[in-house]
């Protein structure tokens, strides 16, 4: 069976709502935000800094970026689809008493 990567990418791009999605976060009520390496940037909760899920059209993979600063080591990965990225982000932040409250396209 032959597989045309360019054709597959075009098909996927046609279905996509947006190549750049903002992931909204907030601290869990009644719990202290935890971090193993220091503080989690509080600007992620008030809009001063935003976590983005970005689709790379060259690789066909999703990755995370922040507007200011660098991404934490546990979030430096690439994902085959946005759903897998969101599952990873949700798991990562739940362990730190932070919840994902939404996604902006």
**Per-residue model confidence as pLDDT tens digits over 12-48:** 666 667 889 999 999 999 888 877 666 788 889 888 9
Q: What confidence tier does 99 reach under pLDDT thresholds 50, 70, 90?
A: very high
What's the predicted TM-score (pTM) here? 0.81
Q: Is 33 buried (19+), middle (13-18) or exposed (0-12) by CB count in 10 A?
A: middle
Tens of pLDDT, residue by residue over 45-73, are: 888 999 999 999 888 899 999 999 888 88
Nearest to 42 by CA among 28, 53, 26: 26
| CB-based contact 52:22 (threshold 8 Å) | yes
How would residue 7 be classed by pLDDT, with cut points 50, 70 and 90? confident
Q: How many residues does the chain have?
A: 105
CA-to-CA separations, 25 to 30, 60, 80, in angstroms, rounded: 15, 25, 22
Q: HEC profile for 7-69? A: HHHHHHHHHCCCCEEEEEEEECCCCCCCCCCCCCCCHHHHCCCCEEEEEECCCCEEEEEECCC
Domain limits, the chain: 5-104
């Amino acid at each position: 069976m032959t597989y045309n990567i360019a054709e597959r990418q075009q098909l996927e791009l046609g279905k996509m709502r947006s190549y750049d999605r903002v992931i909204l976060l907030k601290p869990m009520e009644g719990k202290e935000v935890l971090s193993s390496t220091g503080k989690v940037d509080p600007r992620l909760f008030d809009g001063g800094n935003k976590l983005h899920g970005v689709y790379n059209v060259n690789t066909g993979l999703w990755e995370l970026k922040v507007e200011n600063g660098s991404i934490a080591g546990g979030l430096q990965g690439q994902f085959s689809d946005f759903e897998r990225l969101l599952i990873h982000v949700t798991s990562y932040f739940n362990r730190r008493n932070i919840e994902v409250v939404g996604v902006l396209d």
